[in-house]
Structure 1
Amino acid sequence: MSIRRCPLVIGLLAMTGCTVGPDFTRPSWASPASWFAGPKENARLPVTKPPESIPVAQPIDVDWWTLFNDPRLTMLERRVARENLDVQLAAIRLTESRAQLRFARASQLPNLSGNASYVRQQASNHGVFVEIPSAAGASGAPGFSTGGVSSHGLQPFDIWQGGFDASWEVDLWGRVRRSVESATASSDAATEARRSALLSTLAEVARDYIQLRGVQSQLRIARDNVHTARQSRDLTQQRAAGGVTTDLDVANASAQLRTTLSQIPALEQQEAQLINALSLLLGQPPNALRADLAVAQPVPPVPPLVPVGLPSELVRRRPDIRQADAQLHAATADIGVAQASFYPTLNLTGSGGLQSLQLNHVFDLASRQYALGPGLTIPIFQGGQLRSTLQLRQAQQQEAAVTFQKTVLQAWHEVDNALTAYKAEQSRRDELIQAVADNHKALALAQSRYQEGVADFLTVLDAERSLLATQQQLADSTTTVSSNLVALYKALGGGWETDMPEEKTAAVK
């Protein structure tokens, strides 16, 4: 067979080459027909309470934080994708994975490189050329003669050359194709990791913001109770001065006032820490957001209807599940790469160029040179490395499959728990609304009976303590209801669809 037919034969081999290793099949999953409804609704309370917030099977709003109808929260969430450092790091990792993908794809193409050189060379007068009859002397090369070494020895000479080298691996067994497949899946996993980082950060911003408003509500309650306790102390002082009561009531009233005042510094500390936490989430220095957030605002209320989508959409929506799926795909493709290493490797190599001992003859037709031919590498003995690598890749694929199953199962549990917690906390909040109303009534009656002299001051103190405790619990429960809605949307995987800037390459310049 002539050399001209070799490329055609090798091309046919490349086109008919098989791809070893298992093909990736996306795992199946079973989704429930509907979301868990949670505990049954309690009986209606006689006091006024917020309307129940009910999850409904409607499409999820990707900007779910707008359901709270809080402009400041919406403003913070819109800044997350651009300013959060974790999201920026995930974007940089995505850039890295895409560069690795481009590197893998380049292996499918031939490698071509050019070269040019000039060498001034002096051969040794006691080297191998001494015993070799020179054929160059007849062609006039300096320093050579037909009899060997001249009387003056070997003279320096010039070598001028230029050309190119080319090589290409014929992907007979799909090793390169499987490598590209693995790199593509790894890039997809990095994309989902960036989405997961954004989802977590969006939820964390909303949670910290709601916690901040909850602490500010508790601060307001504590200060209101300080005012009430101060009024009780002044009343006991007046009654003690008139001889109606004793100094014991004055001491108890003063102690209650001090106890209530002692709660304020801790709450102010929590407020400052939450403002700093939000500043950190937006990549800002401490207290950068104090001017915007220090003014107390109520806890953002939950909407009457909460769209939660359909259970069958969860696997396609949550980025951590999508990431686990891509990682399983990459691990499956790596098995094919390991299996292809057991088979021979066929490489086509070629080089061509010009070479001359004189510069004025470099471009002569007689100065051309070339080399072309296939190279076959067959693994014969590797000490068990190839088999061990294959076993490693198979174990990694099994690990990725179990990880995918665990991620899906954990997602169902998170959604189920979030729905249950959201509904249960609303029931707790409704009971606390009733308790606060009852404690207000009890305090008013205790104060009235004390002023009339038919009850002691300890009854008033107990009523004040009970009212303060239930008010704080109600504020905490109201905060928890809104926080549980954030946890629900994080479990549902909503929010990563928001626009994100491209990879933060500027961060590493």
Structure 2
Amino acid sequence: MKKQILYMLCATALLSSCRIYKSYDRPEDINASGLYRDPLTENDTLVSDTANFGNLPWREVFTDPQLQALIELGLAQNTDLQSAILKVKEAQAPLLAAKLAYAPALALSPQGTISSFDHNKATKTYSLPVTASWDISLFGGLLNAKRGADVAVKQAKAYRQAVQTQVVSNIANMYYTLLMLDRQLEISKETAQILKRNTETMEAMKNAAINNINSAGVEQSRAAYAQVLASIPDIEQSIRKVENSLSTLLGQAPQAISRGVIERQVLPAEFSTGIPLQLLSNRPDVKAAEMALAASYYNTNSARSAFYPQITLSGSAGWTNSAGGAIFNPAKFLASAVGSLTQPLFYHGANIAKLKMAKAQEAQAKLAFQQSLLNAGSEISTLLSQYQKTSEKTEARKMQLESSRKAATDTKELFNLGNSTYLEVLSAQQSYLSAQLAQVSDSFDLMQAVVSLYQALGGGRED
């Protein structure tokens, strides 16, 4: 009967400790289906491809040589990225300690004593022992600590990848911002010159009493010229500000940035987002969330292992010239070994409280992981729609730009023939200017949509 009870207790302990040795597996009830919406329909989910735009190396996405040089410089010098790399090294130190915890702890503990009784001759004794202690982890204490340290390293690497993705995307966005501002500055200066010539022409026509031009018309023309002229310093200041920000991002002092022109930029026009579960390996933030779940899983296992016995072997070996009441000289070899077993019984509820807390933290980490998937799917769906709608807007803007250009040209010719007023000329010219600036802005928005989608899909995470 006693043997049966003992067997039952052993079986119960074995069954209850199965999870202690089990490595982390992704929960089966994590929902990753239907994360993306089709940007062309209202309700249909996107049919995913196994290919993924985010898997493309950044050099294949950003083909401008000057932009590539800036990205390479940023990856080498950006302080946030360098700090993230150091965080990986910081996380690797506890992992090394966790691996070495399986080995015995060794220490050299030399001792010496000089004693004298009632002014007699001093007696000198010494010992040179090497002590060792070995924690035999039969119930997963060291195992789960090592696994937890391992996922902490993976989490730090995911953070580094997230920073790298952000650095690449931010450099690209600032670069394209500079190209947009350069083109807007060029358009504004060209328009200012046209309006200046128009003002001079109207001044001459007023003096020659042609087309009933009066001083009010001349002043309105001059005001339109001054308005465009006043916008130029604002654009130039914006360029200087973006250059300074980009220089800081590159880890260098503020300076001028060498760059190309917006018309020569070529970016991918077709994308595949990949199957939803690829977010687990591609997006660093989602990967970090899963590593946090894995870490909490192993923390729960560690809390469970605290309920099981702890076995420790310790011993020492060395030389001494003192042994009990006898004095040996020269020194004699001395060795000892001790084995101990500690079975927790009642620690004021501390182990129970730790286990309950670990379980709650694991449940929270699981919810955070699920939410990170939902956030990623929502972001990608929004960016796919943004690219689609920006593309449609760009096509419509082309038609507006052509019509505005033709209207400005025709109105100017009609004015010269006396069949149009100076107000119509000014209005047509301002509409054309607005259409030009809007087209440049639309081109930038399209570039920014591509960059943002690339970042959202985890692009640029590797060198």
What's the TM-score, normalizing by structure 2? Answer: 0.87
Kept after mapping to 2: 8 A contact 1:217/1:299: no
CA deviations over 1:85-118 (Å, ceiling 9, x no partner): 1111111110011101111122211111123233
Map 1:373-452; keep pairs closer than 5 Å.
Answer: 373-452=338-417
Distance in 2 separating the partners of 1:408 and 1:33: 11
CA deviations over 1:50-107 (Å, ceiling 9, x no partner): xxxxx98745453245334311112222233222111111111100111011111222
The unaligned stretches of length 5 or more in structure 1 are 1-14, 41-54, 123-142, 144-151, 499-509
Distance in 2 separating the partners of 1:18 and 1:107: 21
1:488 corresponds to: 453
Q: Specify which of 83, 107, 117 is matched with residue 89 of structure 1.
A: 83
Match for 1:282: what amino acid? L
Q: Specify which of 211, 219, 238 is matched with residue 204 of structure 2.
A: 238
CA deviations over 1:106-133 (Å, ceiling 9, x no partner): 22111111232333334xxxxxxxxxxx
Distance in 2 separating the partners of 1:173 and 1:464: 81
1:277 corresponds to: 245
Give the superposition deviation at 1:18.
5.4
1:70 aligns with 2:64: yes
1:26 aligns with 2:26: yes
Change beyond 3 A, Cα 1:302–1:378: same
Distance in 2 separating the partners of 1:396 and 1:179: 16
RMSD across aligned positions (CA): 2.7
Distance in 1 separating the partners of 2:261 and 2:322: 88
Distance in 1 separating the partners of 2:123 and 2:161: 64
Structure 1 or 2, whichever has the larger Rg, is: 1
Match for 2:318: what amino acid? G
Distance in 2 separating the partners of 1:70 and 1:210: 11
Give the superposition deviation at 1:361.
5.3
Kept after mapping to 2: 8 A contact 1:80/1:282: yes
Change beyond 3 A, Cα 1:398–1:33: closer
CA deviations over 1:420-476 (Å, ceiling 9, x no partner): 111110110111111111111111122122222222211111112211111111110
Kept after mapping to 1: 8 A contact 2:390/2:446: yes
Q: Specify which of 250, 254, 271 is matched with residue 218 of structure 2.
A: 250
Give the superposition deviation at 1:345.
1.8
Distance in 1 separating the partners of 2:33 and 2:94: 39
Kept after mapping to 2: 8 A contact 1:213/1:299: no
Distance in 1 separating the partners of 2:282 and 2:257: 36
Kept after mapping to 2: 8 A contact 1:17/1:173: no
Give the superposition deviation at 1:166.
0.6
Kept after mapping to 2: 8 A contact 1:214/1:479: yes
Distance in 2 separating the partners of 1:455 and 1:156: 123
Give the superposition deviation at 1:350.
0.7
Distance in 1 separating the partners of 2:277 and 2:420: 63
| Alignment length (residue pairs) | 436
More deviation in 55-64 or 252-261? 55-64
Kept after mapping to 2: 8 A contact 1:100/1:183: yes
What's the TM-score, normalizing by structure 1? Answer: 0.80
Q: Secondary structure at the match of 2:258?
A: helix
2:177 corresponds to: 211
Match for 1:25: what amino acid? D
Give the superposition deviation at 1:301.
3.3
CA deviations over 1:267-305 (Å, ceiling 9, x no partner): 111111211222122211111xx1524x75546233344
Q: Specify which of 101, 122, 125 is matched with residue 107 of structure 1.
A: 101
Change beyond 3 A, Cα 1:159–1:16: farther
Distance in 2 separating the partners of 1:348 and 1:17: 26
Match for 2:86: what amino acid? I
More deviation in 112-121 or 178-187? 112-121
Match for 2:80: what amino acid? D
Q: Specify which of 117, 129, 132 is matched with residue 111 of structure 2.
A: 117
Distance in 2 separating the partners of 1:17 and 1:387: 15
2:40 corresponds to: 39
Q: Specify which of 265, 281, 284 is matched with residue 233 of structure 2.
A: 265
Match for 1:189: what amino acid? Q
Q: Secondary structure at the match of 1:112?
A: strand
The unaligned stretches of length 5 or more in structure 2 are 1-13, 42-47
Distance in 2 separating the partners of 1:315 and 1:329: 13
Aligned identity (percent) is 23
Distance in 2 separating the partners of 1:21 and 1:378: 17
Distance in 2 separating the partners of 1:174 and 1:19: 10
Distance in 2 separating the partners of 1:273 and 1:239: 42
1:166 aligns with 2:160: no
Runs of 4+ in 1 over 6 A off after TM superposition: none
Map 1:355-370; keep pairs closer than 5 Å.
Answer: 355-356=320-321, 363-364=330-331, 367-370=332-335
Give the superposition deviation at 1:189.
0.8
Change beyond 3 A, Cα 1:176–1:303: closer
Give the superposition deviation at 1:249.
1.0
More deviation in 234-243 or 17-26? 17-26
Give the superposition deviation at 1:224.
1.2
More deviation in 444-453 or 169-178? 444-453
More deviation in 298-307 or 382-391? 298-307
CA deviations over 1:136-169 (Å, ceiling 9, x no partner): xxxxxxx5xxxxxxxx545432122102101111
Give the superposition deviation at 1:21.
3.7
Kept after mapping to 1: 8 A contact 2:243/2:257: no
Match for 1:26: what amino acid? R
Give the superposition deviation at 1:342.
2.3
Match for 2:83: what amino acid? L
CA deviations over 1:375-424 (Å, ceiling 9, x no partner): 22333443332222212211111111111101111111111111111111
Match for 2:125: what amino acid? I
Change beyond 3 A, Cα 1:304–1:25: closer
Kept after mapping to 1: 8 A contact 2:162/2:284: yes
Distance in 2 separating the partners of 1:393 and 1:493: 31
Give the superposition deviation at 1:222.
0.8
Kept after mapping to 2: 8 A contact 1:19/1:173: no
Kept after mapping to 1: 8 A contact 2:35/2:374: no
Distance in 2 separating the partners of 1:69 and 1:394: 49
CA deviations over 1:474-499 (Å, ceiling 9, x no partner): 1100001011000111111122122x
Change beyond 3 A, Cα 1:212–1:57: farther
